[in-house]
Amino acid sequence: MGEFELIRHYFAAAPCAQAGDGVALGIGDDCALLALPAGQQLAVSTDTLVAGVHFPDAAEPFLLGQRALAVAASDLAAMGAEPIGFTLALTLPSVAEGWLQGFAEGLNRMASQCRLSLIGGDTTRGPLSLTMTVFGRVPAGQALLRSGARAGDLLCVGGVLGDAAGALPLVLGQAEAVDAVAASLLAHYWSPPPQFGLGLALRGKATAAMDISDGLLADCGHIASASGVALALELEALPLSNALLALLGRQAAQTAALTGGDDYVLVFSLPPEHLPALRAEGWPIHVLGQVREGQGVCLLDACGHDITPAVRGYQHFRETP
Ligand code: ADP
Ligand code: MG
10-52 per-position pLDDT tens digit: 999 999 999 889 999 999 999 999 999 999 999 999 999 999 9
Q: What is the DSSP string of 86-153?
A: EEEEEEESS--HHHHHHHHHHHHHHHHHHT-EEEEEEEEESS-EEEEEEEEEEETT----SS---TTP
Give the span between the Cα atoms of 100 and 178, in whole angstroms.
31
Of 139, 172, 193, the position where a domain reaches its end is 139
Q: Tell me, yes or no, whether 237 and 280 share the same domain.
A: yes
> pTM for this structure?
0.94
Does residue 175 share a domain with residue 135? no
Q: Among 77, 107, 139, where does a domain finish?
A: 139
User: Which of 192, 123, 158, 137 lies closest to 266 in space, CA to CA?
Assistant: 158
The pLDDT-based confidence of 80 (bands split at 50, 70, 90) is: very high
Mean pLDDT for the stretch of residues 127-145: 98
Please state, in angstroms and rounded to a whole number, the distance separating the CA atoms of residues 178 and 173. 14
> How many structural domains are present in the chain?
2
In a domain, 313, yes or no: no
Calpha distance 48→55 (Å, rounded): 11
Assign residue 135 the CATH number of its domain. Answer: 3.30.1330.10
Q: What's the mean pLDDT in 141-147?
A: 98
State mean pLDDT over 186-211: 97
* 219-276 confidence digits (pLDDT tens): 999 999 999 999 999 999 999 999 999 999 999 999 999 999 899 999 999 999 999 9
Ligand 1 close to Cβ of residue 91 (< 6 A): no
pLDDT tens profile 294-303: 999 999 999 9
Q: Do 131 and 183 share a domain, yes or no?
A: no
Indicate whether 292 and 228 sit together in one domain: yes
Same domain, 41 and 71: yes
Dump strand ranges (E) for 11-102: 23-25, 33-34, 40-50, 82-92
In terms of domains, do 113 and 172 share one?
no
Domain co-membership, 162 together with 114: no
Of all atoms in ligand 1, which is nearest to the CA of residue 17?
A: 25
Note the pLDDT tens digit of each residue in 102-113: 999 999 999 999
Mean pLDDT of 171-196: 94
Domain limits at 181? 154-300
222 and 130 in a single domain? The answer is no
What is residue 288's three-state secondary structure?
A: strand
Please indicate whether residue 85, judged by its CB atom, sits closer than 6 Å to ligand 1. Answer: no
How far apart (Å, rounded) are the C-alpha atoms in residues 117 and 21? 8
Query: Alpha-carbon distance 82 to 207, whole Å?
Result: 18
319, pLDDT greater than 60: no
Nearest residue (by CA) to ligand 1, atom 20, is 122
Q: Name the residue of 99, 122, 133 to mutate for ligand 1: max ligand atoms within 8 A of Cβ.
A: 122
C-alpha 8 – ligand 1 centre gap (Å)? 9
Nearest atom in ligand 1 to 122's CA: 20
Q: How far is the CA of 203 from the centre of ligand 2 (A)?
A: 37
Residue pair 137/82 in contact by the 8 Å Cβ criterion: yes
Percent of the chain past pLDDT 70, that is, above it, reads 97
Partners of 269 in the beta sheet? Answer: 155, 208
Separation CA 196–CA 179 (nearest Å) = 29
